[in-house]
A = this chain, B = another copy of it.
């Protein structure tokens, strides 16, 4: 392939730039976890544990059968085989959930189902496949060792053992662990509530007719969806024009609804058209910076309102806003849930076409990762306004600050998009 992917770029003084790591550290430094709350386990999915979860009982809580078969004494079937089967009397049946007290005596067996409590006296289970399945008596065609097909109490977890440490995100498997260990509720950091506001005189709601000079707002929908995908509750506020008299009340209104605010647009040049930078910058709590990255160079972060609600002021270009969300906002959402290192999973892959990146800035280029081949193909159309290309990407190719060119066949770090 001969297509080269990258940008033209201009005179940016490297001394004006803040590194991605420094900006991220400043963000995490200013975010405190949300107050933990008790949630039922059906509601706790996607939340992060604020407590260690321990086994209230041993798991399994009692010795039980791993298979459908016959509970017996292993010594009663010593030497049994297909050619030399052993026949035992069947004294009854114990099923999963049966709370009665059963016992096996030498020379007899008890029918047993998977999960049923082991009867007293029995030390092994012969699976039904190795028997004739008899009811009054059973012919057994295999010898077994003591403990065969028995799940011993505590074999999965001991009583008091930490099953899920504080800080664990609760997915389906962790919800299963909670339930299986008898926890109907758990102390968790709740899902953050995220409010998203697009700004810009040029924005029109989708579904309405465009006029020349206007474009349809996409950032607020995209960022709200990204926040939901990251496990948050998200609220979208329709586009706000470039007017301080409209922006400030809109932001203030949303403070009650959100644990974290995200704006897009109005942060680039710092003139009267950059209403976010101009208006919120005067409040003195938000730092506007040039970050050593592309896309996403001009953006801000700070806190706002009495509760010092975190606020991200992201660039207006859709790709810049999306990349900034994945690099910075995702980490902040983790911190709100008590996780200090939330980030996209990354892999290494071989790039299939040359790439360019500006000196001194880390590029995040859209690509299509093939996990099986271990390759990543940069997409053409890397302009930060090129939202159609964004819809085709499944990965971001990371080009470090000190690299200005990668060639076909080079190894790159790749962030896997959800």
Contacts and interface: CB of A to CB of B under 8 A. Distances in A.
A174 to B, nearest CB: 5
A127 interface: yes
Nearest to A174: B391
Contact of A181 (B45, B97, B216, B346): B216
Given A62-B212, A128-B269, A206-B183, A390 B177 contact: yes
Nearest to A230: B172
Residue from A67, A206, A223 having most chain B Cβ neighbours under 10 A:
A206
A95 B199 CA distance: 13
A115 B200 contact: yes
A418 interface: yes
A205 B390 CA distance: 46
How many monomers of this chain does the complex have? Answer: 2
Given A163-B388, A236-B42, A176 B322 contact: yes
A387 B229 contact: no
Nearest to A216: B182
A226 to B, nearest CB: 4
Interface of A: 8, 10-12, 41-42, 45, 55, 57, 59-62, 66-68, 95-100, 113-117, 127-130, 148-149, 151, 155-157, 161, 163-164, 168, 171-185, 200-203, 205-207, 210-219, 221-226, 228-229, 236, 241-242, 268-269, 271, 273, 316-318, 322, 345-348, 371-372, 381, 383, 385-391, 393, 417-418
25 contacts: A8-B149, A11-B129, A12-B129, A42-B221, A42-B225, A66-B383, A96-B202, A96-B273, A97-B203, A99-B214, A117-B212, A151-B385, A156-B388, A156-B389, A172-B223, A176-B218, A176-B219, A176-B221, A177-B387, A177-B388, A178-B221, A180-B216, A181-B216, A346-B371, A347-B372
Given A161-B388, A183-B207, A184-B207, 19 more contacts: A45-B225, A66-B383, A66-B385, A96-B201, A97-B202, A98-B201, A115-B316, A116-B202, A117-B212, A168-B391, A171-B418, A172-B222, A172-B322, A175-B221, A176-B318, A178-B218, A179-B206, A181-B388, A347-B372
